[in-house]
Amino acid sequence: MASNDLAANTGWVNVGTDHDTAAFAVESIRRWWHGQGQAAYPQATRLLITADTGGYRTRAWKLELARLSAETGLTITVCHLPPGTSKWNKIEHRLFSHITMNWRGRPLTSHEVIVQSIAATTTRTGLRVHAELDNGTYPTGVQIGDAQMAALPLTRHGFHGDCNYVLHPQPAPAVPAARTPQTPAPEWDQALLSDPALTGMSPQQLNDLTNTLVPDGDDRRGRPPRLAFPDQVLATVLHLHLALAAEPLAVLFGSSRTAMHRTLLKIRKLLEGHGIVIPPTTTPPAALAPLQARVLAQSSDPESKIKTTC
C-alpha cells in the first residue's frame, strides 16, 4: 500500500506480509499520518484521499476509515477515480514508475530487500520515499453488518455520492447486542423525523414545500400508497439533506425498501420539476443519533432486516 504527498514530493510505502485488505490499506494511512503526515501538517483538520475503484469501495474500507477519523479527529474526504482511469492516477507516474525503474533487474529475494529497494528511490526533482515492513495480520472475509453501515458518520457528496463521501470524526458504533424479550426497544417518537436540525428547514417551510408538491404528486388513483404524501416529502428531504440511503429510511418510516426507492425517485423528480434544491448538510447533526439508534435497534431484531448501500 502506497501514498504520495504531491505537495511535499514524498512517498510512503507500507509493505505487507499478509492479505491486502481494507484494514491493511487504512492501517497504511494510519502509519503515514503518525509517522509523517501529522508532523508535516500539525494544523491539519482534514485529509483528502484519492483512491481507485477496486476493493477500497467496500464496507470494511468505510468502517476502518471511520475508526481512523475518530482516532485522529480528522475529517476524511474520499474521492474514488472513475473505472478505467488508473493511467491518470498521479501516484502511478509520480511514485510507482520511479520505484519500478529503481529496482529493475534486482532480484527481490526477501521483504527486506523490497523495502530497501523502495526506500532507495529518488528522482532529480527531489522525490523522497519512506518504506517500512508491516508484519500485521489482516484476515479476509470480515463481515460488516447492516447496522454498522447505517450508523457510520458518513456524508455523501451530491455528485456521485457512491464514489465521493466524507467520514466525520465521531466514534464508530459497535454492533448492538441482540435484544431479548426482557430488553425493551428504545422509545421512538416518529415526530423526531421532522426535527429542523435533521431537515434543515422549519416546520412551516416543510409544510409549504409539501403544499407546493401536492398538486403534482398526491395521486390518489389506484392502490393507496404505503406512505402518506407528507411523509413521502419528509423522507426525501432527509434523504437529500442527510444523505440517508433508502434502506434505513424504510426502517424509520415503517415502509418497504422497494416502496421507499420508488418514493424517493418520485419526489426527487417533483423537486426537479419545480426547480427546488434541498442542500446537503456539511456535517451530520447531533440530532441524527436517535435515528441511528432506531435503525440499530430494528436491525438487531431478526424479523427486521435492512441493507444499506455500500
Tens digits of residue pLDDT in 221-233: 545 567 889 999 9
pLDDT at 23: 87
Taking a C-beta distance cutoff of 8 angstroms, is the pair 11, 127 a contact?
yes
The answer as to whether 109 is a domain residue is yes
* Residue 34 belongs to some domain of the structure: yes
Grid coordinates given for 23: 484494514
Domain containing residue 98: CATH number? 3.30.420
Is residue 110 domain-shared with residue 204, that is, in the same domain?
no
Q: Which of 134, 167, 191 is a domain's end point?
A: 134
pLDDT at 100 (0 to 100): 72
The pLDDT, as a whole number, for residue 11 is: 78
Percent of the chain with pLDDT over 90: 18
pLDDT, residue 202, reads: 92
Q: Kindly state whether residue 93 falls inside one of the protein's structural domains.
A: yes
Assess whether 129 and 199 both reside in one domain: no
CB 172, CB 71: distance < 8 Å: no
Same domain, 82 and 197: no
In a domain? residue 172: no
Q: Are 91 and 102 in contact (CB under 8 A)?
A: no
Q: Domain for residue 156, yes or no?
A: no
Instruction: For Cα atoms 3, 76, 154, give the angle at the middle one, nearest 5 degrees.
Output: 135
**Partners of residue 154 on adjacent β-strands:** 167
Would 194 be classed as within a structural domain? yes
Task: Indicate if 97 and 214 belong to the same structural domain.
Answer: no
- Listed residues 117, 134, 151: the one ending a domain: 134
113 plus 190 within the same structural domain: no
Same domain, 21 and 126: yes
Residues of the chain with pLDDT under 70: 1-7, 54-57, 86-99, 103, 105, 107-109, 120, 146-147, 171-188, 217-225, 299-310
Domain enclosing residue 123, as ranges: 2-134
In a domain, 163, yes or no: no
Number of domains in the chain: 2
Same-domain status, 119 and 191: no
Rounded CA gap, 7 and 134, in Å?
Answer: 26
Element (H, E) at 242: helix 229-242
* Count of CB atoms situated within 10 Å of the CB of 189: 9
pLDDT of residue 155: 80
Predicted local distance difference test score (pLDDT) of residue 242: 84
* 85/196 same-domain check: no
Task: Please report whether residue 173 resides in a domain.
Answer: no
- Are 112 and 199 part of one and the same domain? no
What are the C-alpha distances in Å from 197 to residues 2, 105, 238?
40, 61, 10
